Amino acid sequence: MFCVINLRWCKRFFRILFLFAFLWGAINLFFPREHLAIIKKYSAQYNVETTLILAIIHAESKFKATAISNKGARGLMQLSKSTADWAAKEIGLQNYSYEQIFDPQINIQIGCWYIEKLFKQFDSFTLAVCAYNAGSGNVTKWLQKYSLDGKKLSYIPFKETRDYLKKVVRYKKIYDFLFSVFDKR
């Protein structure tokens, strides 16, 4: 009797263990956290949330370090040449060239610096994320045309940016949940 009960318990235990392993694999497949040490380092240095950087990378490149957009933006955080070159100069990166933008260390550092700059400029999560996608010049124009108070947008005229904002917000919520359950920031 004791052996039968233990055998049943063992089978249940291993089924549950298998289920958790499967779920953990699925979570990591659909919501990767590659380059997490680099992301944590630069998100802390530039005072932006780690989960926001993960969400932006997921939305921009799906964690493909060699990604190139149809507009020529490159790397994990999809940085244009002009933005990356300007940021590298502002940060003071030594011996920088745009060809290095595929390096996760450089790409994430520049991307974190840039999103922090947008947060300082707009003092708003929504506006900073929109500016990351559409450019700060466009967001500044939109605030003049589509805002009652000059601080919040009542309308985002670019469908791509509306969709991008929704995607980043959704991914950030998922990463926030995953970090609350599996990771101690």
The sign of the torsion formed by the CA atoms of 53, 55, 56, 58 equals positive
Told to judge if 60 belongs to the known catalytic residues of this protein, a careful annotator would answer yes
Give CA–CA dist 71/68, Å, rounded.
Answer: 8
Rounded mean pLDDT, 31-43: 89
Q: Does the structure show a pLDDT above 60 at 74?
A: yes
Read off the pLDDT band of 78 (50, 70, 90).
Answer: very high
Give CA–CA dist 125/165, Å, rounded.
Answer: 10
Task: Map residue 103 onto helix, strand or coil.
Answer: coil
- Cα–Cα separations (whole angstroms), residue 185 to 35, 90, 169: 15, 28, 19
Position 19 scores a pLDDT of: 52
Give CA–CA dist 114/86, Å, rounded.
Answer: 10
What pTM was estimated for this model as a whole?
A: 0.85
pLDDT, the chain, mean: 89
C-alpha closest to that of 125 among 104, 146, 105, 139? 139
SS3 per residue for 51-91: HHHHHHHHHHHCCCCCCECCCCCECCCCECHHHHHHHHHHH
Q: Does the structure show a pLDDT above 70 at 10?
A: no
Position 5 scores a pLDDT of: 58
* Inter-residue long-range contacts of 40-47, CB under 8 Å, 24+ positions, other chains counted: 40/185, 42/108, 42/109, 42/111, 42/112, 42/113, 43/112, 45/109, 45/112, 46/112, 46/113, 46/115, 46/116, 47/116
Position 38 scores a pLDDT of: 98
Rounded mean pLDDT, 100-129: 98
Buried-state track 32-47, b at ≥16 Cβ within 10 A, e below 16:
ebebeebbbbbbeebe
Which tens digits make up the pLDDT trace of 137-167? 999 999 999 999 989 999 999 999 999 999 9
Place of tokens 């011996």: 95
List the domain boundaries for the chain: 1-30, 33-182
Q: Does the structure show a pLDDT above 80 at 91?
A: yes
The sign of the torsion formed by the CA atoms of 177, 178, 182, 185 equals negative
Position 185 scores a pLDDT of: 46
Position 179 scores a pLDDT of: 84
Rounded mean pLDDT, 117-134: 98
Which tens digits make up the pLDDT trace of 168-185? 999 999 999 988 887 654
Q: Does the structure show a pLDDT above 70 at 17?
A: no
Architecture in CATH for domain 33-182: Orthogonal Bundle (1.10)
Which residue is catalytic, options 34, 49, 60, 90?
60
